[in-house]
Amino acid sequence: MFGSIGMPELIIILVIALIIFGPRKLPELGRSLGRSIGEFKRASNELRNTLEEEIRVEEQRDQRAAIRAEQDSAVAAAAPGGRASESDSGRAKRAAIQAALRGRDPRRSRTSSAEARPPYLPLSRAAARGWPPNV
């Protein structure tokens, strides 16, 4: 129950506490002890949750940094000659990031059947005009 404290030792401790504090003060001490144990549990759970949240945020930050590094290397590899020129670097980087977010290869065609529909037409009018074409 309490580790190495058995039932006889526990009874002796309770009798000594009853003699020292008296029958009127003992329930009050029990309540205050229970409240303090509850507060300690809440504080330890809050600390654990805070630490887990910080670890999760740090892992997400590391994943974002890894994705950025991967995208930068993909942009550098996709550029002619292995390096992006000054004028094309922003455009190539933006295209590579957008393609990575869509899960596509940046060197493939820019339009797919879903992107072929003009953006200014509502879906019902676009469907009436045959957009997107059947693939």
Q: What is the DSSP letter of 108?
A: S
Is residue 85 over pLDDT 60?
Answer: no
pTM of this structure: 0.42
Give the chain's mean pLDDT: 76
Is residue 126 over pLDDT 60?
Answer: no
Is residue 55 over pLDDT 80?
Answer: yes
Q: Which own/partner contact pairs does 21-27 have at CB distance under 8 Å and 24+ positions apart?
A: none
* Residue matched to tokens 């676009």: 126
Q: Where are the alpha helices (DSSP H) in 1-135?
A: 7-78, 89-102, 123-128
Is residue 107 over pLDDT 70?
Answer: no
Mean pLDDT along residues 3-31: 87
Predicted confidence at residue 135, as pLDDT, reads 46
